[in-house]
Structures are given as C-alpha cells and as structure tokens.
Structure 1
C-alpha cells in the first residue's frame, strides 16, 4: 500500500459540513491535494492517488463520511 507524507491526510471533523466548504478547507490545510466533491454512489476510479481526496456528500450536499487521501 502507498503511504503519502505530504501533510494532513484525513478530515473526520468535516462530516456534517457542506461539501464545497469541506473541499475548500481540505485544500487550504493540505495544498498538495485536490478535493473532489461527489454525490454518494457516484462511480469513481479505484486507483490510489496521494493528491486526491474524495468528499462524499448526500443529496443535500452534506459530507457523510470522513474525507481522506486516496
């Protein structure tokens, strides 16, 4: 498994926040990543990337699980 050592890698405190607000905070706290907001159930690639964070939201745009690098 790959390990990423470029700053913060998980944001459990953002569960319940808005997706867009969470993405902005993630990118501020770790400028090495691109935070991507996705509706729960959306298809994604299965590859692991140190510069990507999926921000999973419900139909109301609220983060439903801790965003993390991957």
Structure 2
C-alpha cells in the first residue's frame, strides 16, 4: 500500500536514532506525513494511512523499528 502514497515512505537510516530527531527528519523528508512517536508495547489502530508514520521508540527514546508510512 505504501506504493500508493506520495513521497518518501521508509526511513531505515533512522533505526537506532533518537525518536524526536527521527520524527523531525521524517516530516522534513516528506511534508505530506505526520510522524507519531509511539512507545514499544503500546496499542495502536491497524488502519493504514498515507499521512502517518509511526516512530516506535523504547523507554530511552531510541527508534526500535524502521519508520514507514502506514
């Protein structure tokens, strides 16, 4: 589904970065999305949105998954 979305859709280079900086990078790289910082283990909706990128972080604020549109 990400192929239907416009702009950059995946940020593997942000794995291990700090969540706040990663979210800012995502929104800078693709102004069509809103980056949401989410703590690992949190419950989230299963719907797919071209305008959302979840930035998963651990308790130290480190990105634990590759941020992707969805």
TM-score by length of 2: 0.94
**Structure 1 runs of 4+ off > 2 angstroms?**
1-5
Cα RMSD for the two superposed structures = 1.2
Residue 19 of structure 1 corresponds to which residue in structure 2?
A: 19
The question of whether the paired residues in 1 share the 8 Å contact of 2:57 and 2:64 is answered with: yes
SS in structure 2 of the partner of residue 25 of structure 1: helix
Residue 67 of structure 1 corresponds to which residue in structure 2?
A: 67
Q: How many residues get paired?
A: 70
Residue 29 of structure 1 corresponds to which residue in structure 2?
A: 29
Choose between structure 1 and 2: higher helix proportion.
2
Unaligned runs of 5+ in 1: none
Q: Deviations over 1:11-48 (max 9, x none)?
A: 00000100000000000000000000010011111000
